[in-house]
Amino acid sequence: MAKNFYITTPIFYPNAKLHMGHAYTVTICDILARAQKLQGKETYLLTGADENTGKILKVVEEQGQTVEEYLNQVTLNFKDLYSKLGISYDQFIKTSDKETHWPGAQALWKKLVETGDIYKATYSGLYCVGCETFYTEKDLVEGKCPVHLTVPEKIEEENYFFKLSKYTQIIKEKIESNELLIVPQTRKNEIVALLDRGLEDISFSRPIKNVPHGIPVPGDPSQVIYVWCDALVNYISALGYGRNTELFEKFWPANVHVIGKDILRFHAAIWPAMLLSAGLPLQKSLLVHGLITSGGHKMSKTLGNVIDPYELIEEYGFEAVRYYLAREVSPFEDGDLTKERFKESYNANLANGIGNLTSRIMKMAQDNLDAPVSIAEREDMSQYFAFYDSFEISKAADFVWNEIKSLDQYIQENQPFKVVKTDKEAGQKMIGELVVRLYSVARMLNPILPETSEKIKALIKENKTPEVPLFVRKD
Ligand SMILES: [Zn+2]
């Protein structure tokens, strides 16, 4: 089994306000990384921001802030959210970073040029200045930009293009054979259907006069690299591609890029084509997660159903949020989150469930055992970890909570607290076995509830019941 595990979030748009979607993506990445680390792998979790985005930066400048100040503030916001969620990431990459990111993007560009996959052509299209985006006729609503409701300009400009079309067949083969694994199957089918329709070459640069924030095209300062050879390259530039290859050699190819379904095509078609063109191995897999809805609808201000991750963390603690996202949301489909469901699930599975179970077992142990139970650390957990290897996070969580339930049932049926009064030895043996099984639960909880996992292990080592409940019931 390979020793290293490299996992990435997408680079996020530098939004001022972070929402549940950000919290979800980064939390499942953190859980998957921790699960691999627990199996003895060296892990690397990359996250970051997609900063060369003219749209947002234009607004910032109009509001009189410098772009750098704004981006630094956004980075701090992300880091604050990550720290509040207990995310253990290895690097936050900023695509405006000229030292870390730009050399990688430019090095990859040069590789594509060497292969002969970059060519110059005239691009003509319908352009909305407000969106800084080209639209096709069918994107428009009654001939107008769907966002601004203005008539786009027809403009022509010189662009560099990438021969994406050349790679259609080979990418399709790699996806069909699972050499590039796309999970879930529905997303794989979707991309295979798209590849069946064929890929067209895509614009890879823009004139610098139209796009001031971006990475200059090597050898042509009149053009900047446009989106693909900038944003997607973060996954390798962060590892030092184009600068220093130590990390790159250690961790590339990525085990998994975790993405939302809106960026599937970029990651399942454009990025693999670029890697093939550069002679680099493809990422091993794509985990395409769904949206977090609320009450069955996309969260929106207008509907008033937006749930703020900070508020939940404040009220319930970060592990409650991690728990919900891990267990109550399937990593493969849209998942629903309402305040009512959150509270219900918190009370049933954390306050009761693991919280109550720990108190019960450790109270019996504290009152009836003469010494802490000694635990053999080596235990086969391959059945449990197999869920994580196939990204089945909610099933992994179910596995742990089934064990919690079965421990509760055992106590109910066998009443060791009574047995120990009439037959001390038999009672102590039962309690000792419960403690051993609770320790296994604590070990399994580590990826999802890292803090609680450590707390339970410490209680077992000291043979003590918690002074305050692990999770206080909410009314
Ligand atoms: Zn527009």
* Residue 257 designated active-site: no
pLDDT value at residue 212: 77
pLDDT value at residue 65: 87
Cα 433 to ligand 1 centre (Å) = 65
* Residue 148 designated active-site: yes
pLDDT value at residue 232: 98
Q: Catalytic one among 41, 84, 131, 395? A: 131
C-alpha 333/C-alpha 291 separation (Å) is: 7
pLDDT value at residue 443: 96
Q: Catalytic one among 111, 128, 213, 343? A: 128
Closest alpha carbon to 387 in 400, 377, 403: 400
Report residue 298: phi and psi, to 5°: -60, 135
Helix axis angle, 185-196 to 168-176, nearest 10°: 160
* Residue 29 designated active-site: no
Average pLDDT of the chain to the nearest whole number:
95
Please, what is the end-to-end C-alpha distance for the chain in angstroms? 47
Listed as ranges, residues in the chain with pLDDT below 50 are: none
pLDDT value at residue 147: 85
* Residue 128 designated active-site: yes
Residues within 5 A (CB) of ion ligand 1: 128, 130-131, 145, 147-148
* Residue-wise pLDDT tens digits, 49-79: 999 877 777 778 888 888 889 999 999 999 9
C-alpha 329/C-alpha 327 separation (Å) is: 6
C-alpha 362/C-alpha 353 separation (Å) is: 14
Cα 144 to ligand 1 centre (Å) = 8
Cα 149 to ligand 1 centre (Å) = 7
Residue 380 three-state SS: coil
* Residue 19 designated active-site: yes
Burial of 468 (0-12, 13-18, 19+ CB in 10 A): exposed
Closest alpha carbon to 284 in 253, 312, 311, 314: 253
pLDDT value at residue 62: 82
pLDDT value at residue 125: 87
* Residue-wise pLDDT tens digits, 240-256: 999 988 999 999 999 99
What pTM does this model have? 0.95
Q: How many residues does the chain have?
A: 475
Closest alpha carbon to 113 in 279, 278, 223: 278
